[in-house]
Amino acid sequence: MSELETQTTNSEKNSQKEWPDLAGCLRGDSHVLPLRVYYEDTDFSGLVYHASYIRWCERGRTDFVRLIGLNQKELFEGADGASRCFFVVRHMDIDYLKPATMDDVLEVETRVAEQGTASMKIAQEIRRGDTVLFRALVTIVLINEKGRPVRLTEAIKEAFFKKEA
């Protein structure tokens, strides 16, 4: 491991200690990421711009993967002699239900809805309190450097589907 990689890894560990909820939290089989709507997230009308919801869902999926113990950088680099692979979005079904506005405090909830051989469907909701504003069903696929699907490894399945005692 290079000095820069060691510094980056140490920095990630330190930030998790200093800001334990920075990446949200796991609740049962879901991940919840809190966020606040800023001016930059809105359009000229003062409502949240449609692409902001997609960006927040990406953050939710990324932090979900982080908190269940998978390191996407290691997957991409082929750590421990494994083949280099990474997750990509294959398909999204999205539904904008109600608008959010500046200063709203929202939660992005992320959970695995279905597992395939090389893919998963991830269900996501963005809420303001008990009100669901946005829903997405996102199909992600694990692929190799050549863009071909790769079977989900036992370690990946175990990370996504381990049950809390």
Is the residue at 9 inside a domain? no
Contact at 8 Å (CB) between 37 and 51?
Answer: no
Contact at 8 Å (CB) between 68 and 159?
Answer: yes
For the domain that residue 135 is a member of, what is the CATH number? 3.10.129.10
Digit-coded pLDDT (tens) for 110-152: 999 999 999 999 999 999 999 999 999 999 999 999 999 999 9
Is the residue at 102 inside a domain? yes
Is the residue at 132 inside a domain? yes
**By residue range, what is the domain housing residue 123?**
29-161
Is the residue at 142 inside a domain? yes
Distances (CA, A) of 51 to 2, 57, 64, 70: 36, 10, 20, 26
Is the residue at 6 inside a domain? no
Is the residue at 42 inside a domain? yes
> Left, alpha or beta for 81 (phi > 0: left; psi -120 to 50: alpha)?
left
Mean pLDDT of 90-111: 97
Provide the domain count of the chain: 1
Is the residue at 7 inside a domain? no
pTM (two decimals): 0.84
Is the residue at 20 inside a domain? no
Least confident range from 11-15, 56-60, 74-78, 118-122: namely 11-15
Query: Residue 165: is its pLDDT beyond 50?
Result: no
Question: Where in the sequence numbering do the catalytic residues fall?
Answer: 43
The phi and psi torsions of 144 (rounded to 5 degrees) equal: -95, -175
